[in-house]
């Protein structure tokens, strides 16, 4: 009888259930009223007196082992069931991961940077909170100059000489102060102007401005650089330069690209002319070079600037500039496949 109980002990130690149903069947087999363990307890009275002590110890050992085994396995499998319910079927195929996308502004900025980097332009960056000298005075815009009214500025109330930069030309000033020619750099970044917000304008937007200074730089060099850019950016090579005015360049020009009149959208965008204004440019004014510590008798240069937001609106036919800053996923998800 004792050997039979010990054999059951070995079977209990080897018991490895696959689910809670097997544990319940095992419990009924051994621990129910009609189970094996209860049969051993009932047989206690038939055991010879000299074996009762050893028999009782073996039966109790079986009882403790059974209870411990059932409780431990039940706890383990219940925990696994809860984890499976929480995480789902861990063996099923994973769900497709939703890929993010680049913002249209970032896409256009990266493309512009890539185009100019191919012809030797480096990137320069500067602070968005600027001082009057770098944003205005050094750029041939001294205090009370009427051209300052062209850019409605956000000034810091506690210090009128500190402001949010109105253009990234301030970065070019800093670069010229710290570097001697030859200089070939572009300055992309966010700028701020105190303007009414509408579908075509915003109080903050993004610009990229370029600067090239060296000996014997001419307007022809400027035109060829812009010709290369428009061809690479838009796939359109026909451009025209119209006389304009900027305080920091002389002569100055507006650059138009021939967009065409193939669709109704082309007519709307170009107002029926086929030409689209994309940027301003000009030869750097000698006073600006002098303010930045560069000898205008030895060096000359050109500068240009364009709105990244405006180009994004053109490239992707976006009807409202406010869509670029509203973080609407329905809008941004359209650019998932674009690098």
How many independent structural domains does the chain possess? 2
Of 87, 112, 140, which closes a domain? 87
| Whether residue 166 is found in the same domain as residue 282 | yes
Low-confidence ranges of the chain (pLDDT < 50): none
Nearest to 301 by CA among 248, 260, 256, 261: 248
Is residue 169 domain-resident? yes
| Whether residue 205 is found in the same domain as residue 161 | yes
| Whether residue 224 is found in the same domain as residue 301 | yes
Residue 288 confidence (pLDDT) = 96
| Whether residue 269 is found in the same domain as residue 296 | yes
| Whether residue 217 is found in the same domain as residue 293 | yes
Is residue 92 domain-resident? no
| Whether residue 177 is found in the same domain as residue 293 | yes
Whether a cis peptide bond, with omega within 30° of 0, leads into 61 is no
Is residue 78 domain-resident? yes
Surface-to-core class of residue 297, CB atoms within 10 Å of its CB (0-12 exposed, 13-18 middle, 19+ buried): exposed
Whether a cis peptide bond, with omega within 30° of 0, leads into 231 is no
Distances 298 to 1, 182, 215, 216 between C-alpha atoms, Å:
114, 11, 6, 8
Sorted by sequence, the CB contacts under 8 Å of residue 282 that are 6+ apart come out as 222, 244, 246, 248, 249, 250, 251, 252, 253, 302, 303, 304
Is residue 98 domain-resident? no
Single pTM value for the model: 0.69
Is residue 94 domain-resident? no
Q: In the numeric block, which tokens belong to residue 245?
A: 């005015």
| Whether residue 268 is found in the same domain as residue 130 | yes
| Whether residue 40 is found in the same domain as residue 131 | no
| Whether residue 119 is found in the same domain as residue 17 | no
Rounded-to-integer distance, Cα 296 and Cα 91, Å: 73
Surface-to-core class of residue 50, CB atoms within 10 Å of its CB (0-12 exposed, 13-18 middle, 19+ buried): exposed
Rounded-to-integer distance, Cα 48 and Cα 31, Å: 25
Residue 88 confidence (pLDDT) = 61
Residue 195 confidence (pLDDT) = 85
What is the span of the domain harbouring residue 243?
104-335
| Whether residue 40 is found in the same domain as residue 117 | no
Residue 339 confidence (pLDDT) = 54
Residue 118 confidence (pLDDT) = 96
Whether 201 and 195 have beta carbons less than 8 Å apart is answered as yes
| Whether residue 175 is found in the same domain as residue 269 | yes
Is residue 249 domain-resident? yes
Is residue 292 domain-resident? yes
Rounded-to-integer distance, Cα 80 and Cα 110, Å: 49
Is residue 95 domain-resident? no
Residue 82 confidence (pLDDT) = 62
| Whether residue 36 is found in the same domain as residue 165 | no
| CB atoms closer than 10 angstroms to residue 132 | 19
Residue 87 confidence (pLDDT) = 57
Q: For the chain, give the number of residues.
A: 339
3-state secondary structure of 211: strand
Place of tokens 């499998």: 77
């Amino acid at each position: 009888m004792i050997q039979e109980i010990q054999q059951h002990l070995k079977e209990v130690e080897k018991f490895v259930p696959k689910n809670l149903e097997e544990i319940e069947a095992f419990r009924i087999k051994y621990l129910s009223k009609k189970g094996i363990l209860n049969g051993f307890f009932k047989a206690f009275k038939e055991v010879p007196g000299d074996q009762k002590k050893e028999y009782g110890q073996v039966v109790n050992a079986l009882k403790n082992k059974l209870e411990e085994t059932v409780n431990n396995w039940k706890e383990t499998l219940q925990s696994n069931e809860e984890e499976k319910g929480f995480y789902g079927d861990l063996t099923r195929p994973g769900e497709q991961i939703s890929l993010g996308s680049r913002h249209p502004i970032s896409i256009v900025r990266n493309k512009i940077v890539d185009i100019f980097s191919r012809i030797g332009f480096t990137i320069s960056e500067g602070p968005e909170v600027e001082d009057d000298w770098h944003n205005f005075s050094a750029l041939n815009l001294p205090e009370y100059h009427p051209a300052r009214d062209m850019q409605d500025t956000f000034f810091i109330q506690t210090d009128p000489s500190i402001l949010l930069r109105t253009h990234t030309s301030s970065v070019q000033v800093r670069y010229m102060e710290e570097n001697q020619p030859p200089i070939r750099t572009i300055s992309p970044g966010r700028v701020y102007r105190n303007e009414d917000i509408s579908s075509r304008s915003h109080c903050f937007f993004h610009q990229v401005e370029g600067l090239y200074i060296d000996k014997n730089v001419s307007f022809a060099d400027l035109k060829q650089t812009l010709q290369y850019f428009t061809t690479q950016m838009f796939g359109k090579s026909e451009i025209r330069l119209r006389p304009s005015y900027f305080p920091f360049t002389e002569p100055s020009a507006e650059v138009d690209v021939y967009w065409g009149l193939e669709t109704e959208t082309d007519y709307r965008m170009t107002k029926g002319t086929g030409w689209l204004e994309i940027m301003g440019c000009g030869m750097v004014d000698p006073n600006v070079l002098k303010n930045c510590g560069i000898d205008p008798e030895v060096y000359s240069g050109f500068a240009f600037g364009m709105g990244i937001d405006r180009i994004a609106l053109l490239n992707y036919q976006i009807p409202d500039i406010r869509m670029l800053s509203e973080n609407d996923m329905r809008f941004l998800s359209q650019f998932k496949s674009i690098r």
